[in-house]
Structure 1
Amino acid sequence: MFTLYHHGSSVCAAKVRFAMAQKGLEWEGVYIDILKGDQFDPEYVKLNPKAVVPTLVHDGTVIVDSTVICEYLDKILPDLNPMHPSDPWEYAQARYWTKAVDEDLHPACAALTFVCSHRHTVLKNLGEEGMKNFLASTPPISVTSDWKAKKDIFTRYGFEAPEAVDKIKLYDSYLWKMEKALETGNDWLVGNEFSIADIAMAPYVNRCAMLSLSGMWTNGRMPNLEKWFSRVSALPNFKTCLLDWVPEDLTSDLRENGAKSWPEVAKILDIVSRN
């Protein structure tokens, strides 16, 4: 039996939901509201010491880290809709994408999301004192080894936080990497087959879309990425895995806060107009 501890807007949880749907796996869910601090419950921290989602429990075995979870699923069920390419070179290319997510893109996404939206949502839901407790509860080692301090700074200072601009530019650079990879005319990122590379990157492009930041690739800026995202969005499992789990109020927060943040993001990226 698979039990997935997850949250609607978590890009890492969305990746695992997407992967499990690709494998055709059924699972039971335990919803962890990471914007209200459910992840800091001592019983959950026993499962995931970093106090993040997702966490997969498979017949009593605990697996953490979304990339590792996806690799685990392909190892235990190698013949069931495999996500990793069988060709060694293509496997390596797919791993470059998942490695990039873990090393660069996910920390940049955490920064972008808090700067543009979550900082406002946490304050709205918890109030000033609750937000202080929320920030203080983050373990010293979480999303990154310095995320506790970084989350505090991004939440308190938004676009004025040190590194905020650099993280947004880093995020944009990975969208450009996708644009370049798709210049071959292939539908997908690796070997022209839908793979873990596409599963891994989809939640991060979707995060920008949910934040009303699709101007990062639309209007001719990244036409290949725009077409790729249209293909991904049309897949049967996309909506159920990446959109439907996000509560309506959080979807509204992401959309509205992101729209207010768009002019600042566009300025940082030197995007003159989204029209």
Structure 2
Amino acid sequence: MSTDDGHGHGQAKKLKLYSFWRSSCSFRIRFALNVKGLEYDLITINWFQGENRKAEYLKINPIGFVPALVDDDIVVADSFAIALYLEEKYPQQHPLIPRDLQKRAINYQVATIVSSSIQPFQNLSGNRFMDDKISLDEKIDWIKAKIEKGLSALEKLLHDHAGKYATGDEIALGDVFLAPQIHAAISRFNVDMTKYPVLSRCYDGYNELPAFLNALPKNQPDFPAMIMHTNEADFMKQLRGEN
């Protein structure tokens, strides 16, 4: 990985990833790129400063979300689409989609549960929408309940399929989505993972991987030096200047 300040400085790479340190969706693709051993320029988009809403970025991704991947004249937005694109273009570099049909189906389900049934409830847009409607404590409790519901479903889904990782002893598509979600559940929402032994075993395995560790939010070039808290409640209070 190399970094870019978004203004054309730094060594150009074939792949360019627009990313935000706190975005679990960006985290997925950083992890996937690292697992596949693909070099890329990391271009940071500061969500808190509204860089995702600027015309320059909206030309790349009209919906204004991260991540977005630029590969020469091909632009792919949305983490699921990016992961599949990388798999189709680089199938020989650590394949993420198993040949076994059942394992493949399980991986698709894991990715879908995370991306559509968990992560939307914790994203920044939803957080801000609720700010003036319920208290911070109520918001955190509601988000945490949604996360735990999704994790419970994943625990049951993977019970008979997991090895060291979600569907065996090789990192696959489901892991690319699952690992950042578990990290967010623990670090941002203080979820008790003892209730999820299968997922906890997978997470222990992820933490042994340089590809995962290098993709962590705290290891990104745009991770703010002044951040004192990563859990959601304290982080939101810090942003508001309350502590």
TM range (shorter): 0.7 to 0.9
- TM-score with structure 1 setting the length: 0.71
- TM-score with structure 2 setting the length: 0.80
| 1:6–1:53 CA contact under 8 A, matched in 2 | yes
SS at match of 2:76: strand
Residue 194 (structure 1) aligns with: 171
Q: Hey, what's the Cα distance between the residues in 1 that align with 2:231 and 2:143?
A: 20
Q: CA deviation at 1:194?
A: 2.0
The answer as to 2:190 corresponding to 1:177 is no
Quickly say closer, same or farther: Cα 1:221–1:152, change in 2 above 3 A.
closer
Quickly say closer, same or farther: Cα 1:166–1:210, change in 2 above 3 A.
closer
For residues 41-70 of structure 1, give each alpha carbon's deviation from its aligned partner in whole angstroms, at most 9, with x where no partner exists. 111011111111111000121100011000
Q: Hey, what's the Cα distance between the residues in 2 that align with 1:58 and 1:90?
A: 29
Q: Hey, what's the Cα distance between the residues in 2 that align with 1:41 and 1:82?
A: 35
Q: How does 1:92-111 map to 2 (within 5 A)?
A: 92-110=105-123
The total of aligned residue pairs comes to 221
The answer as to 2:209 corresponding to 1:235 is yes
Pick from 75, 99, 104 the counterpart of residue 88 of structure 2: 75
Q: How does 1:108-257 map to 2 (within 5 A)?
A: 108-110=121-123, 114=124, 150-159=126-135, 166-184=142-160, 186-211=163-188, 213-214=190-191, 216-217=192-193, 220-243=194-217, 244-245=219-220, 247-249=223-225, 251-255=227-231, 257=233
| 1:154–1:164 CA contact under 8 A, matched in 2 | no
Please say which of residues 227-236 and 250-259 is displaced more in the overlay. Answer: 250-259
Q: Hey, what's the Cα distance between the residues in 1 that align with 2:182 and 2:139?
A: 21
Cα RMSD (Å) of the superposition?
A: 2.7
Pick from 69, 81, 86 the counterpart of residue 99 of structure 2: 86
Task: Kindly provide the amino acid, as one letter, of the partner of residue 102 in structure 1.
Answer: S
SS at match of 2:59: helix
Quickly say closer, same or farther: Cα 1:178–1:256, change in 2 above 3 A.
closer
SS at match of 1:57: strand
Residue 13 (structure 1) aligns with: 26
The answer as to 2:41 corresponding to 1:41 is no
Q: CA deviation at 1:227?
A: 2.4
**Would you tell me which structure has more helix in proportion to its own residues?**
1
Residue 31 (structure 1) aligns with: 44
Task: Kindly provide the amino acid, as one letter, of the partner of residue 34 in structure 1.
Answer: W
SS at match of 1:29: strand
For residues 177-214 of structure 1, give each alpha carbon's deviation from its aligned partner in whole angstroms, at most 9, with x where no partner exists. 23334544622222443211011111111112222614
Quickly say closer, same or farther: Cα 1:158–1:227, change in 2 above 3 A.
farther
Task: Kindly provide the amino acid, as one letter, of the partner of residue 177 in structure 1.
Answer: A
